Amino acid sequence: MAEVFVDVLRLAARYGVHRATLWRWAKTDPTFPKPVSLTPGCTRWRLSEIEAWEASKLQAA
């Protein structure tokens, strides 16, 4: 199955935060998935890693 990637705008909408918040999380939260640079100017997150991070947060709560 092909890997699914999510852009910063869709991810920000998913969490109801500003896109700058995602970049801050990527820099300061070691558990938050790191973005992947697909091409210059095209950075995305792996959906599988985002879903795994969400599941870990739910288990911790």
Number of CB atoms found within 10 A of residue 3's CB: 10
Residue 7 burial (10 A CB sphere; 0-12, 13-18, 19+): middle
**For residue 46, which phi and psi values (nearest 5 degrees)?**
-75, 125
pLDDT of residue 40: 93
Read off the pLDDT of residues 2-57 as tens digits, 9 standing for 90 and up.
899 999 999 999 999 999 999 999 999 999 999 999 999 999 999 999 999 999 98
pLDDT of residue 39: 94
- Which residues make beta-bridge pairs with 5? 46
